[in-house]
């Protein structure tokens, strides 16, 4: 969700909204948090993590169009690490090394919206994090032992997997519904044929832990609507998934107005076990190498639930009994019951059909509509340990706590400003912790020192343990944490160094194995980095020099043999625009054409020892003539 929603909403419903509320909430400075000196002290204590102690939670905030992941500690809100997922990152050489170039495919950046942890029985298991790229239709998996990306795939037939990643309760699937509809394979088709030739394809992706590879198992060619957010069932709703939709009007231009005409859009309610079975029985069509279920021909397993227009988020309650849609343009949260939906399906309690998918009767599935007074722009909902719901209100800039069992508003706290998502401690797992929630605010305005016309986004940490929600810390964050995940720190087990891998033909672990191999124009360097030198060929008079001929194809395989925690070496060649790093025990590769004759110093970029400044050598490129 971009900041553009403000004009969209003001334009559309300004007349209905109390504009004084709107402006009061977005145009003024930070509202004072109750700050008697005693509460300030106790709040400071709550977030203070003394040196030598560690935070209780990891926070993984998506980096939106930075294509990166930001790792923070909670409650200190200290930024610990930026991990590149979809975008080049010269701090780590991601996007320059051959290994990372292979992961990134033909792209240099990504738009990363929703991180999702791997799950076992609906609980975060701390093993992997999945991510999707709205910009270039990719899915990624990151290993939480090393905080590095293991695999990225481009998903065919789709465009903009925004509503993802949502992971099923035992990580059976990572579902990727899409924001944009396109013709299959992104082929050309006139927009006059939008309803006939365009599809919003949802992909069922699986992760093979053995091979450390992602793969598309099957897809569903949903109608040409926009799919917004989604969630997976758990417990009694295991095997099911829900996705919100907008633009069921099938507008093809000026979406701001045209996609908001109808009073109702739908929630797609699907049974992935049934779809899996249909595919196993051959009930699909193969298009562009993928198995695609077309709901109008391959019937079953998918239903539509009417919902107030243009819903944004949909969230399954921790106990798996309900799903809650947030209204975006209608100021309400709608609570639906899975049990009622299952009954309606059994009784064929349908009000019609769309593209072969039965439409369930709204009144048969809906449990209650919740409209907290003056709360505007509900977007996303998280949960605490008692099953209470916390919904972000984009327009009225607050988080509202309410009871899904009764609809009663329990508490509300203003945030600065315009929260998109919030994230509670393990807040979308089967057993949220209930300790903290963080508002992921789109607009920081004057919350921090000014850095010019554009400001960072803001994250506000809210304590949930007292009688009232209380903001206890705030931290700027780069664009743009659409969503985040907060996991108990002790669930993540990182390694300290990479193990030796004797099966890796690129790796060299001792000086006597270093060598420069020439084969015509091909030059392969098998070198090591250690404190505080490079050794490319130990037998050479100048072991830290690489001499090649102009036009040679050079590959440098570099192994860091300092098996010592946090001793990372970097590698850069002046004016060759090359840069990568090797972490302790790691082997990485760069390839380049030595097309510039001359003398180019090479050096370690990562301060690794007292003699780091001496860790350099030369690339000599002999001119052709």
Stretch that binds ligand CUA, among 151-159, 294-302, 583-591, 605-613 (CB under 6 A): 605-613
Smallest gap from Cβ 551 to ligand CUA, in A, equals 30
**95 contacts ligand CUK (rule: CB under 6 A):** no
For the chain, first and last CA: distance in Å? Answer: 58
Q: Which is nearer to ligand CUA, 572 or 621 (CB)?
A: 572
From ligand CUA, ligand CUK, none, interface partner of 615 (C-beta below 5 to 8 A by class): ligand CUA
Helix/strand number for the chain, H first, E second: 9, 42
Alpha-carbon distance 227 to 177, whole Å?
6
Alpha-carbon distance 262 to 578, whole Å?
53
Rounded to an integer, what is the distance from CA 96 to the centroid of its chain?
A: 22
* Subset of residues 217 to 246 that bind ligand CUA, contact rule: CB under 6 A: none
Alpha-carbon distance 168 to 27, whole Å?
40
From ligand CUA, ligand CUK, none, interface partner of 156 (C-beta below 5 to 8 A by class): none
From ligand CUK, ligand CUA, none, interface partner of 604 (C-beta below 5 to 8 A by class): ligand CUA
**127 contacts ligand CUK (rule: CB under 6 A):** no
E strands, 178-253, are 200-208, 213-222, 226-232, 240-246
x/- mask, ligand CUA, residues 43-82, rule CB under 6 A, reads ----------------------------------------
From ligand CUK, ligand CUA, none, interface partner of 162 (C-beta below 5 to 8 A by class): ligand CUK
CB 411 within 8 A of CB 38: no
Q: Which is nearer to ligand CUA, 424 or 604 (CB)?
A: 604
Options 17, 400, 484, 615; binder of ligand CUA; rule CB under 6 A: 615
CA dihedral (13, 14, 16, 18) positive or negative:
positive
Neighbours of 478 (CB within 10 A): 15
Q: Which is nearer to ligand CUK, 435 or 482 (CB)?
A: 482
Phi and psi dihedrals of 345, rounded to 5?
Answer: -65, -45
CB 417 within 8 A of CB 442: yes
Rounded to an integer, what is the distance from CA 529 to the centroid of its chain?
A: 33
**604 contacts ligand CUA (rule: CB under 6 A):** yes
Phi and psi dihedrals of 506, rounded to 5?
Answer: -85, -15
Which residue carries 């302790």 as its tokens?
Answer: 584
Q: Which is nearer to ligand CUK, 401 or 482 (CB)?
A: 482
**114 contacts ligand CUK (rule: CB under 6 A):** yes
Options 176, 379, 486, 554; binder of ligand CUK; rule CB under 6 A: 379
From ligand CUA, ligand CUK, none, interface partner of 607 (C-beta below 5 to 8 A by class): ligand CUA
Neighbours of 372 (CB within 10 A): 22
Options 165, 365, 440, 608; binder of ligand CUA; rule CB under 6 A: 608
x/- mask, ligand CUK, residues 328-367, rule CB under 6 A, reads ----------------------------------------
Q: Which of 444, 430, 438 is nearest to 413 (CA)?
A: 438
* Subset of residues 284 to 313 that bind ligand CUK, contact rule: CB under 6 A: 312
From ligand CUA, ligand CUK, none, interface partner of 226 (C-beta below 5 to 8 A by class): none
Smallest gap from Cβ 569 to ligand CUA, in A, equals 4
- Residue 325, both tokens: 């849609």
**1 contacts ligand CUK (rule: CB under 6 A):** yes
Alpha-carbon distance 145 to 353, whole Å?
47
- Residue 598, both tokens: 């001359």
Per-position DSSP letters for 337-355, written without gaps between them: EHHHHHHHHHTT-EEEEET
* Subset of residues 537 to 576 that bind ligand CUA, contact rule: CB under 6 A: 569
**444 contacts ligand CUA (rule: CB under 6 A):** no
Alpha-carbon distance 379 to 208, whole Å?
33
Options 150, 291, 412, 482; binder of ligand CUK; rule CB under 6 A: 482
Options 606, 617, 619, 621; binder of ligand CUA; rule CB under 6 A: 606
Q: Which residue is nearest to ligand CUK (CB)?
A: 420
Residue 523 vs residues 101, 274, 517, 558: alpha-carbon distances, Å: 20, 54, 6, 14
Residues at the contact surface with ligand CUA, assessed by CB under 6 A: 569, 604, 606-608, 612, 615
């Amino acid at each position: 969700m971009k900041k553009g929603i403000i004009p969209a909403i003001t334009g559309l419903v300004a007349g209905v909204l109390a504009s004084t509320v709107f402006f009061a909430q977005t145009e003024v400075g930070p509202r004072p948090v109750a700050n008697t000196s005693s509460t300030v002290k106790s709040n400071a204590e709550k977030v203070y993590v003394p040196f030598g102690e560690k935070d209780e939670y990891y926070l993984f905030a998506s980096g939106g169009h930075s294509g990166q992941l930001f790792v923070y500690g909670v409650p200190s809100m200290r930024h610990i690490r930026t991990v590149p997922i979809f975008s080049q990152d010269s701090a780590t050489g991601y996007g320059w090394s051959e290994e990372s170039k292979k992961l990134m495919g033909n792209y240099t950046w990504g738009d990363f919206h929703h991180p999702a942890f791997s799950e076992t029985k609906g609980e975060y298991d701390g093993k992997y994090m999945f991510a999707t790229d709205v910009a270039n239709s990719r899915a990624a998996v990151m290993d939480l032992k090393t905080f590095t990306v293991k695999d990225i795939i481009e998903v065919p037939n789709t465009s903009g997997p925004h509503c993802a990643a949502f992971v099923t309760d035992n990580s059976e699937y990572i579902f990727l519904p899409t924001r944009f509809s396109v013709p299959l394979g992104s082929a050309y088709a006139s927009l006059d044929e939008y309803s006939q030739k365009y599809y919003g394809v949802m992909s069922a992706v699986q992760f093979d832990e053995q091979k450390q590879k992602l793969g598309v198992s099957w897809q569903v060619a949903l109608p040409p609507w926009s799919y917004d957010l989604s969630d997976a069932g758990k417990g009694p709703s295991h095997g099911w998934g829900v996705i919100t939709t907008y633009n069921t009007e099938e507008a093809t231009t000026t979406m701001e107005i045209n996609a908001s005409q109808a009073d109702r859009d739908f929630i797609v309610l699907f049974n992935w076990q049934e779809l899996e079975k249909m595919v196993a029985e051959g009930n699909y069509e193969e298009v562009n190498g993928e198995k695609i279920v077309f709901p109008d021909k391959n019937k079953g397993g998918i239903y539509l639930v009417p919902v107030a227009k243009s819903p944004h988020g949909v969230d399954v309650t921790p106990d798996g009994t309900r799903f809650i849609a947030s209204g975006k343009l209608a100021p309400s949260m709608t609570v639906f019951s899975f049990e009622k939906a299952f009954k309606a399906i059994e009784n064929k309690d349908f009000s019609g059909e769309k593209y072969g998918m039965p439409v369930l009767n709204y009144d048969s599935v809906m449990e209650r509509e919740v409209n907290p007074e003056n709360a505007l722009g509900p977007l996303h909902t998280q949960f605490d340990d008692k099953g209470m719901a916390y919904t972000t209100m984009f327009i009225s800039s607050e988080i509202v706590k309410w009871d899904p069992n009764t609809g009663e508003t329990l508490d509300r706290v203003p945030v600065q400003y315009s929260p998109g998502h919030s994230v509670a401690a393990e807040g979308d797992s089967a057993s949220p912790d209930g300790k903290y929630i963080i508002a992921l605010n789109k607009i920081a305005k004057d919350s921090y020192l000014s850095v010019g016309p554009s400001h960072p986004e803001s994250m506000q940490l809210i304590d949930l343990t007292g009688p009232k929600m209380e903001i206890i810390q705030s931290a700027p964050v780069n664009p743009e944490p659409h969503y985040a995940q907060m996991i108990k720190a002790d669930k993540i087990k990182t390694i300290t160094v990479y193990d030796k891998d004797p099966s890796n033909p690129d790796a060299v672990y001792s000086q006597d194995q270093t060598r420069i191999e020439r084969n015509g124009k091909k030059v392969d360097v098998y070198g090591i980095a250690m404190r505080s030198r490079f050794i490319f060929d130990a037998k050479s008079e100048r072991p830290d020099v690489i001499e090649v001929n102009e036009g040679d194809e050079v590959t440098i395989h570099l192994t860091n043999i300092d098996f010592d925690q946090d001793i990372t070496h970097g590698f850069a060649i002046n004016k060759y625009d090359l840069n990568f790093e090797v972490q302790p025990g790691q082997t990485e590769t760069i390839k380049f054409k030595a097309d510039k004759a001359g003398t180019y110093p090479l050096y370690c970029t990562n301060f690794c020892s007292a003699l780091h400044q001496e860790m350099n050598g030369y690339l000599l490129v002999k001119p052709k003539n």
